[in-house]
Chains A and B, each alone.
Chain A
Amino acid sequence: MIAYRNILTSLLFLAMISVTTVSGQSIKRIGTSELEKILGNPDDNLFVVNFWATWCGPCIKELPHFEKLSKEYQAERVTFILVSLDFPSEIDKKLIPFLKKNKIDLGVYVMMDLDYDTWIGKVDEGWQGNLPATLVFNNTRGIRQFLPREIDESTLREIIRKNI
């Protein structure tokens, strides 16, 4: 029995290691207070926060733009943040395999608070919760632009270039 449990534990341990090393990127589960911290970041830095989910077709289409531009602007004061609104019950079977398959290097926060109405207005007063949505801000310089729609690469680059 003990031996069996040990084997199980080692298997579980191995499984955990393989998930983190193979996917090569990290996910972090967050709640409303962490989201507020991200949105309230006082650094003089341009933050590009994309709200998305693997179940959202237009989100998947625009995701590579964020990945590409994050590399393009690596040396600049721009921080890209992906906030996934995938369902908590689908993180392991959908989100993690998706990130792995599509080689998403950007770190991903997963919003665990499903009581949407309590926090959607904190992202933007006018947001109805439709995905995708992107918030670009620099709190130090009072820059804030919210786009509750799909965005193309040139528009995103232009917004970053103007506000950097």
Chain B
Amino acid sequence: MKKLLIPVVTGMIMTLTLNAQTQYKAGDVATDFSLKNVKGEIVSLSQFDAARGFIVAFWCNTCPVVKKYEQRLIDLNKEFAGKGYPVIAINSNDKGVSPGDSYDEMQKLVKNKKYAFEYLYDESQDVARKYGATNTPHVYLLSKKEGKLIVEYVGAIDNNADDAQAADKNYVADAINSLLNGGKVAVAGTRAVGCSIKWRKV
């Protein structure tokens, strides 16, 4: 019995550790996903033929830090979608833990705030787990290279959540501009205060 239990318990601990710590970092190959948008359509990154990359933003309806950054995400899409880097926002919060993050509320939000980008529902939370997202907002900048999605940057949009005007490091915009100019991304990752993703209670 003991012999059987040890590998099982070790396996469980390893899974927990992996869940908590594995996170895409710059240089990794990101996997595509198929998630439902607010119109009920299934969206995958592979459908965006013209895109050169993506601003994948782990997002939600309720987090006050997300609210602080809402206009900035809308502006990023406005500035960069036409240049080949559209915003793809993903809500991975469990509606049981955070009722305001339900699919219905996502639909209302997109309508009210006129999101011009896709806002997808990661109901199983698999995409957040795979990408290693921990917070909202949490941005993964991807670029297409030889048919693969390469992670170029992971972290915050800029370095002042409270006041966009006071931010003096615009991580995501700077990274895309570097890529558009054929250069390398200077800052590969940052950490920022945000709301924890609301994982389903098991």
Contact = CB atoms under 8 A, between A and B. Distances in A.
Interface residues of A, number: 25
B193 A85 contact: yes
Given A87-B161, A117-B155, A55 B21 contact: no
Interface string A48-61: 00000101111000
Contacts of B191: 116-117, 120-121, 127-129
A89 interface: yes
Nearest to A116: B192
Nearest to B189: A117
Contacts of B166: 114
A131 B195 contact: yes
B156 interface: yes
A126 B192 contact: no
Interface residues of B, number: 27
Given A129-B135, A130-B134, A120 B161 contact: no
B135 A130 contact: yes
B166 to A, nearest CB: 8
A103 interface: no
A128 B193 CA distance: 7
A88 interface: yes
Contact of B162 (A114, A127, A129, A149): A114
Given A116-B193, A120-B193, A129-B192, A89 B64 contact: no
Interface of A: 53, 55-58, 85, 87-89, 114-117, 120-121, 126-132, 148-150
